[in-house]
């Protein structure tokens, strides 16, 4: 389908917003990340509240369920900042491209409003009930036209799956059954089963999201998959504050380099990370094949228990894909030896000694190097957001 608008994918993170040009190839019907991109930190926008305190998530959920969500003045001010940051990155791309008509897909954390165009509950940020309306109004002031309104605000995790499935470089494309684990600011889970993308929101009766489960010491598995989480684990082990580590620019890549050089605290951090990630991947493999076996407890102790039976019993994964900054870490010079290889060894041992997997499954997973792959889509959420917007637009034409 020919078009003359600029297709943009937006990834609205916790501290900044990023936007990328997304290109569509009508011959192959695939998408790719374009050359144009822009990003803006919220703290650089006038009016940003550095001391912003979110409303208790319990209160947010209660108001959401009762239909009485009423953002505070502080939330409204912070929302205006977030909208302005997004508007500026979109303006930047439009200016670079020379086009004044755009189609935008946006991925953001949090629970969405009924019309999916706003955020009604979110752990670390403001509720933004009018986000899409405000963004569209703001961009119209800059003479930027929308080929279609923002269809909805999507999930980063779902967009990672969409990006992997429809991008020319996506690792979901050539397989029928695969699991994606992406680690950036948070953690993203995505599934492709029997050739179709299966959102985790539709598996909640029998498969949990990574952030819902916790290690034996009570930490969410998100800590071991996300960049900030790994940094926080190192901070706890080394006795250093996050402020100190940020000032020294010590992040996961630097921690892996220190581990390779023999630093005990860095090595302990990545050993613990490898152990928990190998347990997580083992849980995914066994749950898909033979159902939930209670390998982890839940962060929310009142969460409904998972069912052991599910529609995809017997599934063998062709690929386990590691993406975003977690993938970057495992694929790095030092991360390969300090995290990827130890994870591989531990997972291989768990599979070999499993009382849950039969010989057929063990044989299938006997060469994990062919199964565990690193994604090349560093900006998967933004790519997926743009693809989702294009697909929804195409359905209505």
CA 112 to chain centre: 16
Are residue 104 and residue 79 in the same domain, yes or no? Answer: yes
Averaged pLDDT, 317-329: 96
Are residue 66 and residue 185 in the same domain, yes or no? Answer: no
What percent of the chain lies above the pLDDT cut of 70? 99
Q: Are 331 and 341 in contact (CB under 8 A)?
A: no
Query: Is residue 55 a part of any domain in this protein?
Result: yes
Are residue 198 and residue 294 in the same domain, yes or no? Answer: yes
Are residue 138 and residue 76 in the same domain, yes or no? Answer: yes
Nearest to 122 by CA among 64, 49, 208, 199: 64
Query: Is residue 204 a part of any domain in this protein?
Result: yes
Cα three-residue angle 131-133-136, rounded to 5 degrees: 105
Query: Is residue 139 a part of any domain in this protein?
Result: yes
- pLDDT averaged over every residue in the chain: 95
Are residue 208 and residue 275 in the same domain, yes or no? Answer: yes
**Domain count for the chain:** 2
pLDDT at residue 3 tops 80: no
Name the DSSP class of 370.
G
Are residue 194 and residue 98 in the same domain, yes or no? Answer: no
Position 301 confidence tier, pLDDT thresholds 50, 70, 90: confident
Q: Are 187 and 226 in contact (CB under 8 A)?
A: yes
The torsion angle over the Cα atoms of residues 336, 339, 342 and 348, rounded to 10 degrees, is -90
For residue 55, what are its two tokens? 């409303």
> Whole-angstrom Cα distance, residue 23 to residue 292?
40
Are residue 283 and residue 390 in the same domain, yes or no? Answer: no
pLDDT at residue 2 tops 80: no
Q: What is the pLDDT of residues 48-104, one digit of tens each?
A: 999 999 999 889 999 999 999 999 999 999 999 999 999 999 999 999 999 989 999
Are residue 14 and residue 116 in the same domain, yes or no? Answer: yes
Write down the pTM of the prediction: 0.92
The CATH code of the domain that includes 118 is 3.30.420.40
- Going by their DSSP bridges, the two strands 6-12 and 16-25 should be labelled as antiparallel
Q: What is the pLDDT of residues 135-181, one digit of tens each?
A: 999 999 999 999 999 999 999 899 999 999 999 999 999 999 999 99
Q: Are 8 and 148 in contact (CB under 8 A)?
A: no
Averaged pLDDT, 214-243: 94
What's the domain range around 43?
6-157+381-395
Are residue 184 and residue 269 in the same domain, yes or no? Answer: yes
The per-residue pLDDT for 4 is 85
The answer for residues whose C-beta is within 8 angstroms of residue 88's C-beta and 6 or more apart is 38, 40, 45
Are residue 90 and residue 128 in the same domain, yes or no? Answer: yes
Position 397 confidence tier, pLDDT thresholds 50, 70, 90: confident
8 vs 396: which has the higher pLDDT: 8
> Whole-angstrom Cα distance, residue 269 to residue 259?
9
Q: What is the pLDDT of residues 187-222, one digit of tens each?
A: 999 999 999 999 999 999 999 999 999 999 999 999
> Whole-angstrom Cα distance, residue 96 to residue 91?
9
Reported as half-sphere exposure (CB side, CA atoms, 13 A), residue 284 has a value of: 27
Beta-carbon count within 10 A of 395 CB: 8
């Amino acid at each position: 389908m020919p078009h003359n608008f600029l297709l943009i994918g937006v990834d609205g993170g916790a501290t900044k917003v990023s936007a990328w040009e997304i290109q569509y190839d009508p011959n192959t019907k695939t998408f790719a990340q374009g050359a144009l991109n822009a990003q803006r930190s919220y703290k650089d926008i006038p009016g940003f509240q550095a001391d912003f305190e979110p409303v208790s998530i319990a209160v947010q959920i209660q108001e959401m369920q009762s239909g009485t969500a009423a953002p505070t003045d502080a939330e409204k001010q912070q929302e205006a900042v977030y909208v302005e940051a997004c508007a500026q990155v979109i303006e930047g791309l439009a200016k670079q491209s020379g086009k004044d008509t755009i189609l935008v897909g946006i991925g953001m954390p949090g629970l969405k409003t009924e019309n999916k165009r706003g955020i009604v509950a979110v752990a670390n940020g403001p509720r933004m009930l009018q986000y899409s309306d405000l963004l569209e109004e703001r961009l119209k002031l800059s003479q930027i036209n929308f080929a279609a309104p923002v269809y909805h605000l999507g999930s980063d995790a779902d967009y990672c799956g969409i990006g992997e499935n429809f991008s020319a470089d996506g690792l979901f494309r050539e397989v029928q059954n695969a699991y994606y684990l992406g680690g950036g600011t948070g953690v993203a889970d995505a599934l492709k089963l029997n050739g179709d993308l299966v959102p985790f929101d539709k598996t909640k009766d029998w498969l949990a999201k990574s952030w819902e489960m916790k290690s034996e010491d009570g930490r969410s598995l998100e800590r071991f998959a996300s960049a900030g989480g790994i940094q926080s684990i190192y901070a706890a082990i080394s006795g250093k504050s996050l402020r100190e580590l940020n000032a020294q620019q010590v992040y996961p890549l630097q921690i892996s380099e220190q581990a390779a050089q023999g630093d005990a605290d860095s090595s302990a951090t990545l050993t613990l990370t490898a152990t928990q990630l190998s347990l997580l991947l083992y849980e995914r493999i066994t749950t898909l094949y033979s159902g939930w076996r209670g390998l982890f407890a839940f962060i929310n102790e009142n969460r409904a228990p998972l069912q052991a039976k599910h529609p995809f019993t017997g599934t063998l994964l062709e690929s386990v894909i590691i993406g975003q900054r977690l993938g970057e870490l495992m694929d790095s010079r030092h991360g390969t030896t300090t995290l990827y290889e130890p994870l591989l060894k531990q997972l291989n041992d768990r599979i070999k000694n499993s009382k849950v997997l039969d010989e057929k499954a063990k044989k299938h997973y006997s060469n994990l190097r062919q199964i565990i792959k690193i994604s090349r889509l560093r900006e998967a959420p933004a790519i997926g957001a743009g693809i989702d917007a294009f697909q929804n637009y195409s359905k209505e034409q």
